[in-house]
Amino acid sequence: MKPTRMLLAASAFALVAATADAQQTWRYAFEEAIDEVQGVFATQFKEHIEANSDHEVQLFPFGTLGESDDIMEQTQAGILQFVNQSPGFTGALIPAAQVFFVPYLLPQEGEQLNEFFRNSVAINEIFPEIYAEHGLELLTMYPEGEVVMTTKSPVRSPEDLNEQNVRVMTNPLLVEKYRAFGAVPTPLPWGEVYGALQTNMIQGQENPMFFVESTRMYEVTDYITFTGHNNFTTAFMANKDFFDGLSGEDQALVREAVDVAFEYILDYQQGLTEASLETILESKPEMEVIVLTEEERQPFMDAAGRVEEEFLRMTGDTGARILEQMKADLEAVTN
């Protein structure tokens, strides 16, 4: 081969190699099954990325790589590129993320709540700065439905929770919250909850309705109580070094896939709470559903102030900034 031809062939090979290098496989773990809300979000994200690039997204549902804390560690270490972890667990690492456990702060469900997540300065501007300090690129937060308590005995007041061990996700503010609600809070990773209810080590837990149904929490509890105290918030993020190392084009593609999955998941959840409740009652007609009246809610609402104070004590200036901004963001969507 003539030297010029050789050079041309070499540069053609280099070009092919460069294109091939551009193809990447991204690993993405989440805390739920593939057909639960986080899995549906992840599937939308994967489909958008794969339809619009040569990249592949490998999905790892709950349990395949460990518990929630395990997948977060693997993401911070760069073993995983993407992770969905809820503030219920991240709150132990990033105290300000516990703001989502101040009771009666956010609406439980609905279009106002969706608008809040779309436009919130706290979520879309301040939290990303805070998560970045922990090596995480926060890509979005989204709601997973109103949180209900499922218990073995009826709950109409904080007195009814007296001496009841109620499982909470593993962050200190949730512990304070259930203490303020009158219970004995018991932090546990998700994988231990069904067994702990079955063996009566705990007598209750809280989660959104779709999860109560899909994980069969109703088999090991007898009462569902709508206290109206919260929605379940979750968060999707990337390893920050990985994200910063992507080309501008790939970063834009990731953000676009997040926007598509975000809108899809809000739409997907319309009517999900009601449908899940119906399925539960079909499987277990004797399950009792309690919706607290305004009057019954009041003592739980009275406890909220104490939890907010505790949040501020735990998180200092950062928490105060987040809480103030969240309230302003809420005001903007409720007026």
Choose between 71 and 96: whose C-beta lies nearer to ligand 6CS: 71
**34 phi-psi bin (left φ>0, alpha ψ -120 to 50, beta other):** alpha
User: Is residue 310 part of the contact set for ligand 6CS (CB under 6 A)?
Assistant: no
Radius of gyration of the chain (CA): 22
Q: The tokens 């997907």 sit on which residue?
A: 268
Distance CA 207, CA 148 (A): 6
Write the binding mask 167 to 186 for ligand 6CS: x where contact by CB under 6 A, - elsewhere: --x-----------------
Q: Which stretch binds ligand 6CS (CB under 6 A): 16-24, 122-130, 207-215, 261-269?
A: 207-215
Q: Tell me: does residue 207 bind ligand 6CS (CB under 6 A).
A: yes
The four Cα atoms 65, 70, 75, 76 give a dihedral, to 10 degrees, of -160
Query: What are phi and psi for residue 9, nearest 5 degrees?
Result: -60, -40
Under the binding rule (CB under 6 A), the answer on residue 109 touching ligand 6CS is no
Please report whether residue 41 would count as binding ligand 6CS according to CB under 6 A: no
**Selected binder of ligand 6CS within 143, 208, 228, 319 (CB under 6 A):** 208
In angstroms, rounded to a whole number, what is the distance separating the alpha carbons of residues 55 and 255? 15
Count Cβ atoms below 10 Å from residue 85 Cβ, excluding itself: 23
User: Total residues at the site for ligand 6CS (CB under 6 A)?
Assistant: 11
Angle, helix 172-180 to helix 294-334, in steps of 10 degrees? 140
Nearest approach, Cβ of residue 211 and ligand 6CS (Å): 4
- Does residue 213 interact with ligand 6CS by CB under 6 A? no
Residue 239 contacts ligand 6CS per CB under 6 A = no
Among 28, 29, 31, 150, binds ligand 6CS (CB under 6 A): 31
What residue ranges bind ligand 6CS (CB under 6 A)? 31-32, 68, 86, 144, 169, 190, 207-208, 211, 232
